[in-house]
Structure 1
Amino acid sequence: MLFYGGANPRAAVAELGLPPGDPVEAELYVDRDLRYVEGVSMPVRPVLPALTRIASRPDVTESVVVWARIANAVDDDKFDDLDRIAAELPAEGHSVPHSEGHVWTAKALVGAFVESFTELLRSDSGLNLRLITAQHSDPGEVRVNADLRKYQAHGIAWLEAAAEGGAGVILADDMGLGKTLQSIGLLVRRAGNGPHLVVCPTSLVGNWQREIARFAPQLTVHLHHGPSRSRVADPLTETDVVVTSYSIALRDLKLLRSIAFDTIVIDEAQAIKNHRSRTAGAVRDLTGRVRVALTGTPVENHLAELWSISEFVNPGLLGGQADFKRRFADPIEIGRDPVSAAVLRARIDPVVLRRMKEDVAADLPPKIEAVVACTMTDEQAGLYKEAIREAFDEGLGDGITRRGRVLKLLTRLKQICNHPAQYVGEGGGGLAERSGKLDRVTEMLTEVVDEGAKALIFTQYRQMGELLSRHLHDELGVAAPFLHGGLDQPARDRLVDEFQTVEGPAILLVSLRAGGTGLNLTGASHVVHYDRWWNPAVEDQATDRAHRIGQTRTVHVHKLVTAGSLEERVDELLARKRAIADAVVGSGEDWLGELDDSQLRKLIELDDDGGHL
């Protein structure tokens, strides 16, 4: 698509909030007069979302207004309106000489516009074929300080082909395979086209800064984060890469939208899995020529999450949300329909690249997983039964009230399984011999420390993390620092850096929310899930902080469950939730709120056959 006019077309394009394009000199045939103009050329797909926003601006030309209305019609699937709108295009809006020796008519040019926008929908289109081919192509020299594995080089070639073709993409490689490195490779190849933007969770802002400095020190980085961050655009436009967090992107949306970025990379893209969230809306509103989403879990719970991420990279590719639910989500999730899954896979194959460790990194050390059943103490068993009895005596209600009360009960039971002190407070006694789980993890970590190895311990509760930190320090005589959301970014970075050194602490406690994604913690050869996050994708992400490229030892994963309790029974159900994600490229605890009293009792009541101390 060509934009021209004014003394500085590139500045005009940026002021309109359109993505940056390539400067070109083009011919126009208006009023029987052939003239040459300087303008900006860009692919149709990335420009369409930006065009839809400027139809009502009073400071744009008539042809821009009409093209914006055309973009809105395409975006709303109102293709029947296009001939009528095309008839309103003035000559300067379509009179470009065709390569076959004639001048484009308005109707023909609008048809070409639609064909270009819908190219990804046609499996045999040239763009789709180029993308599929690029997934196994050599990109040539990539100026990064790393020995690229073959699959990483192929990933960069694919990212570059998508960027050149105007297609957004989702890089969904298994966790630990180097998605960050591959995306940095793309930024290096596109350096000089304008500033790039990386949006990531707060916990990964410092990690991105370090990884760019490590792999591509020739790129300048501006960290747009913290209370002293810039309130004007100049520092952001004078750098190669801007790194910011999702929360800051939402807060500073007006500033960031004023900048025409070349490439926008969103890391841990499941952060926008809820398409109704303000964060998802803010990210979709950013202006960029190339859009890349990175995620190791394109589907955590529901296919609607895949739709939301796809809507960021390729608006409209999977249809509207209601249409996607009818055509794909319901048949696959409810009906387990293999035909619908195959159709969806074919649609996304060119623009979603997912490689698994076992397929492309056979030399990565193995990962050995084990469920460790821990026996309750009498104190735990008494509190557990009492919590269930009180909940059912009071009644759980129905509807939203019931769901809230069930989730409250589940939280209490999980806290009791962790340690009575998390549920009733520490009291005057110590922590030892009051929780089978705590005693077992203490024994395990004693062996880890004695053998000179390192371990990560994940918990979803900050209070439990603090209890563990003090207890392990007192019992084992070693430091057991705790990385959690209450720490500022420099403190988190310092904990990670220290743990990765040989002389650093042997144990690092990590809040699953604060450190379960993105971090590189290959210093650990043991991973302990002290309590269970009932979503296998979240647990896998946490495990792969250690089991990733750079790991040279076998990683032992220990998942603690309390025998005879709801933890053990839910663990048996977790494997079923992997099926949806595997079918196309899974819910938290909400489903438990839908169980009736009899079903819920069967799931949570203590099985005394498991025994207790």
Structure 2
Amino acid sequence: MYSPAEIEKKRLLAQQKKAQLTQNRMKNTQPMKQSMTPTKGRPLSNAGFNKSGNKYSAYNSSSPGVKRKWESKDTSGNNPKHIKHLTTVPPDSFFGKTERLKAVCKMITSARFEVEVPYHTQLVEFFKTIPTKSYDQKTKHWNFHINDYSSLINGMKSQFTGHIDVSGIPNFILQTFKSNLEKKSDLKEVDLSKIDNVLISKLMPFQRDGILFGIEKRGRCMIADEMGLGKTIQALGIAHYFRENWPLLIVTPTSVRNQWSDAICEFLPSIPYQHIFRYSSGKDRLDKEKITIVSYDLLSRNIQAFEQKAFGFVIFDESHTLKSHKTERTKAAQRIASTARHVLLLTGTPALSRPIEIFSQICLVKPNWLKIHDYGVRYCEAKKGQFGWDYQGVCNTSELQLLLKASFLIRRLKSEVLTQLPEKQRQVIMLDPELIKEGTKEMKKMAESLQANTLKGFEKHSELLRYYSESSKQRLTAVGNYVRDLIDKKEKFIIFAHHQCVLDKISEVLDKNGIRYVRIDGKTLPDARKQSVDEFQVSENCLAAVLSITAANSGITLTAASLVVFAELYWNPAELTQAEARVHRIGQRNYVVIQYLIAKGTVDDIIWPLLQTKANFLQKAGLDQNFSLSQAELRHQPNQEPFTSEEKKNTLEAFGFSQSFSSQDDEFLTPMESFTAQKEGNASTSAESAKKTVECDNISVTEDFAKLLEDDAEDFENIDLDNIT
């Protein structure tokens, strides 16, 4: 029992608390209307927020006669449940958050990384505290040594929490560069006496370096030297060094199996010929041979038989044919590589069009390198589409180039290692428009049907191929006339085409003029192919080689000629540069001329600029040499006289592209350069136009159609492109 004095004391305390609570409510409620409207240029006042720091919104303040479903009946303030349900709401929820800065880190050299971030005064002051800081005036970005990466990232996250979102470098990528810095190379001390002396004696210095690189990587790497630099001899040198882990499997395109067996006999004479087995059909049995040579197609069809024999060393020649992880040949390659101790990839064009094309090859050498989504996000500008992720884009290419070289790739260009190799000059020959007029109306109808975007799937691809095929038919007369002009010069030349009708037309002209020539296309058997190459190289009476772009662009050497002519374009720059390299390679002693025959009003109007667009992407990633016609001479067909400056301007404008012409130095932008500049300009306004167009003569071709021409071989696996007439 309380005494009367204690009861009175408690009553007075209760009244005092009640009065104080009422006063606090008045303070929180009355100024709210004023605080809801901010004054110009100043933030809202703090009215409506109590002294304790709790930020109650206007909807949490007490209003007479208003009941909320979460309130108890007792609103006197004595009910603790009432206080418990009051929710703190930050003012940013009503008035918007300040935009956070985004900082992106990426490697710029093998030892330094940069931070791309908008200017921020306090952040700059923080950057200046990092010991290895450096500011690039050109890029306007700060960069640092990778040893300071952790301290910089931790400092940014701790000091600028809530103000900056940091996109760092994935740990795996960072560790790859760090380990390379810490590693001390002892390649000069490697004993190459284990390799056949004949092979060693024939090595050029850069080829020796390639073998040492392969040994350092324990036989798991990619040699991506430019075509014509001798990747075969380097591969055999690396394989012979690790011969204790044989049997050796060489997987190659069908057309070059003979070249591999010849190379083994030439460079590794210590290997008995009976130890070399060329697998030629599913009926063949794999026995105890030391070396087996098989085509990609035969491997995929007989993969179970090959899996039963444990190959310790596997060489994948022309590995860019494995660019799609969806094809059967790539799946077979992955199965056979998964059990091999050493895996060596050879290609002059690691990616034909996009960075994603090298990923499946990477997985053969480094199975646990990166997950495809991580790779796609960082280097392929991954986008979430209706049917999944799209990895067909290109981004962060400089870092990708550095990462590939730091991990497993070595690539040298002719311009870097063959200072004595003669130069090559590209020329663009504008075919006589009078000889290609017929048939343009039909081609316009095809373009219009594709532009309507009503065709889907295989039907769309078929229409595209028909348009490509019709263009070839319209140029037959012009190409035939051009070949007659070449014959008059009585010099050796090779001429590439894609369609059978063009190849047949060239052969017809040569036959009528009594010219001795060789022909290699998709129907040529491997043995006949080798005989044709030998005849062209040795015989002075054999003046011409008629070649398919896709069937004869690799695995052969034709240095007896110094003139290369492309009667048609192909929509992949890598295929064209590989074809050029049949002549411009080790062994060539003469100045090389490469001529591209262009027909206005045909599919060339679209393919030509797209070739440079693709090549630009790959060049940035260090995956292809420059395929640019910016320095090419522009000539007429009839007499091959160079264009005057005014003729260049008028002809190129008539070709369907706006040109930038300078009267001061008579320089102009080629259609490809103009197209690239136009694409870069359009990138900033892509949201304004869903369907940009490229004007080609009187044909308005939608970008949707232009993208169709970016399709590659695997998109037409069920179509024999070489037999399209």
Equivalence for 1:122: 176
User: Quick check: which one's helix share is greater?
Assistant: 1
Whether 1:345 aligns to 2:398 is: no
| Pairwise CA distance, 1:251 | 1.6
Equivalence for 1:389: 445
Equivalence for 1:37: none
Whether 1:518 aligns to 2:568 is: no
How do residues 205-284 of structure 1 correspond to structure 2 at under 5 angstroms? 205-220=257-272, 221-227=275-281, 230-231=284-285, 233-234=286-287, 237-239=288-290, 241-284=291-334
Per the normalisation by structure 1, the TM-score is 0.67
Q: Percent identity?
A: 25
Equivalence for 2:494: 456
Equivalence for 2:465: 408
Query: Which amino acid in the other structure matches residue 328 of structure 1?
Result: Y
| Pairwise CA distance, 1:346 | 2.5
How do residues 129-148 of structure 1 correspond to structure 2 at under 5 angstroms? 129=183, 134=187, 140-141=192-193, 142=195, 143-145=197-199, 146-148=201-203
Instruction: Show CA shifts across 1:133-174 (max 9, x none).
Output: 74x8876444234531111000011111212xxx62110001
The range that moved more, 455-464 or 386-395, is 386-395
- The 1-side partners of 2:619 and 2:281 are apart by 42
Given the superposition, is the C-alpha separation of residues 122 and 281 from structure 1 closer, same or farther in structure 2, using an over 3 Å criterion? same
- The 2-side partners of 1:552 and 1:137 are apart by 35
Three-state SS of the structure 2 residue aligned to 1:349 is helix
How do residues 97-116 of structure 1 correspond to structure 2 at under 5 angstroms? none
How do residues 71-110 of structure 1 correspond to structure 2 at under 5 angstroms? none
How do residues 425-436 of structure 1 correspond to structure 2 at under 5 angstroms? 435-436=477-478
Given the superposition, is the C-alpha separation of residues 597 and 334 from structure 1 closer, same or farther in structure 2, using an over 3 Å criterion? closer
Whether 1:581 aligns to 2:618 is: yes
Answer whether contact 1:528 1:557 (CA < 8 A) is retained.
yes
Q: Which has the higher contact order (CA 8 A, sep 6+)?
A: 1
- The 1-side partners of 2:536 and 2:282 are apart by 29
Per the normalisation by structure 2, the TM-score is 0.58
Given the superposition, is the C-alpha separation of residues 157 and 204 from structure 1 closer, same or farther in structure 2, using an over 3 Å criterion? same
Equivalence for 2:651: none
Q: Which of 234, 246, 254 is the aligned partner of 1:182? A: 234
Three-state SS of the structure 2 residue aligned to 1:158 is helix
Q: Which of 304, 308, 314 is the aligned partner of 2:360? A: 308
Three-state SS of the structure 1 residue aligned to 2:239 is helix
Answer whether contact 2:493 2:562 (CA < 8 A) is retained.
yes
Whether 1:478 aligns to 2:478 is: no
- The 1-side partners of 2:174 and 2:258 are apart by 35
Equivalence for 1:324: 375
Answer whether contact 1:458 1:509 (CA < 8 A) is retained.
yes
Instruction: Show CA shifts across 1:458-513 (max 9, x none).
Output: 111123212211221212x2122211121221111111111111335111111112
Equivalence for 1:446: 488
| Pairwise CA distance, 1:543 | 0.7
Instruction: Show CA shifts across 1:215-236 (max 9, x none).
Output: 21222452333248622x32xx
- The 2-side partners of 1:399 and 1:137 are apart by 60
Given the superposition, is the C-alpha separation of residues 137 and 480 from structure 1 closer, same or farther in structure 2, using an over 3 Å criterion? farther
- The 1-side partners of 2:382 and 2:202 are apart by 43
Answer whether contact 1:388 1:409 (CA < 8 A) is retained.
no
- The 2-side partners of 1:437 and 1:495 are apart by 23
Three-state SS of the structure 2 residue aligned to 1:557 is strand
| Pairwise CA distance, 1:204 | 0.5
* Unaligned stretches of 5+ residues in structure 2: 1-171, 384-390, 625-688, 702-725
* Unaligned stretches of 5+ residues in structure 1: 1-117, 420-434, 588-594, 608-613
- The 1-side partners of 2:392 and 2:303 are apart by 37
Task: State the superposition RMSD in angstroms.
Answer: 3.3
Answer whether contact 1:457 1:509 (CA < 8 A) is retained.
yes
Query: Which amino acid in the other structure matches residue 561 of structure 1?
Result: I
Whether 1:362 aligns to 2:419 is: yes
| Pairwise CA distance, 1:525 | 1.1
How do residues 534-545 of structure 1 correspond to structure 2 at under 5 angstroms? 534-545=571-582
Give the length in aligned residue pairs. Answer: 453
- The 1-side partners of 2:244 and 2:500 are apart by 44
Given the superposition, is the C-alpha separation of residues 291 and 585 from structure 1 closer, same or farther in structure 2, using an over 3 Å criterion? same
Answer whether contact 2:280 2:294 (CA < 8 A) is retained.
no
Three-state SS of the structure 1 residue aligned to 2:294 is strand
- The 1-side partners of 2:183 and 2:192 are apart by 20
Instruction: Show CA shifts across 1:538-584 (max 9, x none).
Output: 10000101111111112111111113544145324422221222222
Query: Which amino acid in the other structure matches residue 365 of structure 1?
Result: P
- The 2-side partners of 1:303 and 1:529 are apart by 27
Equivalence for 1:290: 342
Given the superposition, is the C-alpha separation of residues 243 and 127 from structure 1 closer, same or farther in structure 2, using an over 3 Å criterion? farther
Answer whether contact 1:376 1:437 (CA < 8 A) is retained.
no
| Pairwise CA distance, 1:385 | 2.1
- The 1-side partners of 2:373 and 2:174 are apart by 20
Equivalence for 1:173: 225
Three-state SS of the structure 2 residue aligned to 1:204 is helix
Given the superposition, is the C-alpha separation of residues 330 and 406 from structure 1 closer, same or farther in structure 2, using an over 3 Å criterion? farther
- The 2-side partners of 1:540 and 1:359 are apart by 17
| Pairwise CA distance, 1:193 | 3.1
| Pairwise CA distance, 1:283 | 0.7
- The 2-side partners of 1:247 and 1:253 are apart by 10
- The 1-side partners of 2:173 and 2:257 are apart by 35
Q: Which of 458, 479, 485 is the aligned partner of 1:437? A: 479
| Pairwise CA distance, 1:343 | 5.2
Instruction: Show CA shifts across 1:298-346 (max 9, x none).
Output: 11111111101101111121x22222111211179988644x6315623
Answer whether contact 1:196 1:264 (CA < 8 A) is retained.
yes
Given the superposition, is the C-alpha separation of residues 305 and 597 from structure 1 closer, same or farther in structure 2, using an over 3 Å criterion? closer
Equivalence for 2:590: 553
- The 2-side partners of 1:176 and 1:580 are apart by 23
- The 1-side partners of 2:454 and 2:608 are apart by 27
Answer whether contact 1:459 1:531 (CA < 8 A) is retained.
yes
| Pairwise CA distance, 1:534 | 1.6
| Pairwise CA distance, 1:396 | 5.4
Equivalence for 2:503: 465
Structure whose CA Rg is larger: 2
- The 2-side partners of 1:335 and 1:274 are apart by 15
| Pairwise CA distance, 1:526 | 1.1
Three-state SS of the structure 2 residue aligned to 1:538 is helix
Instruction: Show CA shifts across 1:431-462 (max 9, x none).
Output: xxxx2232123202431xx2xx3211111112
Three-state SS of the structure 2 residue aligned to 1:288 is coil
Three-state SS of the structure 1 residue aligned to 2:380 is helix
- The 2-side partners of 1:293 and 1:222 are apart by 20
Equivalence for 1:151: 206
Instruction: Show CA shifts across 1:108-131 (max 9, x none).
Output: xxxxxxxxxx8995323379836x
Answer whether contact 1:457 1:507 (CA < 8 A) is retained.
yes
